[in-house]
Structure 1
Amino acid sequence: MDNISIDTLSVIARQCLALTCLQRFCRQHALHHPALSAFAGHAWKVAQLAPGDFAAWERGFACLAVTGMGDPWPDDLRMALPGHLLGTLEQLVGHVLETSACTWHGDDLAASRRQLEAVLEICARHGVAAPPLAHYVQHDAALRGGWGPMLTDAEVRRWQALL
């Protein structure tokens, strides 16, 4: 256990940590589906969003089969998942999205923390280890209203390697 507080992490770091947890959850439970991969792939783009790209990225979620916004999931995905995990996975995806979404049009960093805590709690309940928070610390996390700096390609690769 590290002594890093979620409050010291940027929104980008929180979102990427939440995505890593989701992907670890899926891997541990052998949950594979293109709709889940598309959601994760789109959400990972948050790491390198320039301010002018944000609106298009946000709208991009509506084009996904799994949005994290409470929309019904496609039948083929629902049928591909074990029934006992479906509700949990839907909740997890929603919390992953909300880790950043709660700040999209404001600065609700406290809500972002609560959403990440929910992700971590679901993972802990299901025996999915979260990577140490220390891996996501950025020295200038307070930039851009708490969103922190955009990641370099090398930083994205390093964070994605934590899967």
Structure 2
Amino acid sequence: MKRRQFMHNISIDTLSVIARQCIALTCLQRFCLQHALDHPALSAFTGHVWKVAQLAPGDFAAWECGFAALAVNGMGDPWPDDIRMAIPGHLLGTLEELVQHVLETSACSWYGDDLPASRRQLEAVLAICARHDVAVPQLAHYAQHDAALRGGWGPVLSDEEVRAWQALI
């Protein structure tokens, strides 16, 4: 564990849930780029998850409900056949697992402060990336001085901060 933390300059434990979610999402997008996986359902999922970075407290319930309308939602629902057939068979299971871990990086703490579970979910994302030679972003790029705000969720990001984090894909 210490070796992995050193590689990324900082400990996952110092990152907000929003930062962890955005790192996991960046890893998913890098995985898709590396393997030339492009499907509107994956784009819809990543676009929806990125919204977490700027959710006001009153917007959370609507954002959470929005996952139900997605063909790929990370909640263990079976993917439609057209999506499954568009993904190479040798990557499908891994991609489904990765999407689920990406969502769970924040979902495990939606109704509580399970920061250790959030860390474990991000570690699972990082492990999948390592197995598939997908470059992981430097965690230090996502550090926030006030990461402990809002029960460890950290501050809502500005448009500029979201653009900067999305540029790390």
Taking structure 2 as the reference length, what is the TM-score of the superposition? 0.96
Alignment of 1:1-163 (within 5 A): 1-163=7-169
Q: Give unmatched runs, 5+ long, in structure 1.
A: none
Name segments (4+ residues, structure 1) moved above 2 Å: none
CA drift at 1:3: 2.6
Q: Paired residue for 2:3?
A: none
CA–CA distance in structure 1, aligned partners of residues 115 and 88 of structure 2: 34
CA drift at 1:28: 0.1
1:11-68 alpha-carbon deviations (Å, 9 max, x no partner): 0000000000000000000000000000000000000000000000000001100010
User: What is the number of equivalent residue pairs in this alignment?
Assistant: 163
Taking structure 1 as the reference length, what is the TM-score of the superposition? 0.99
CA–CA distance in structure 2, aligned partners of residues 92 and 5 of structure 1: 21
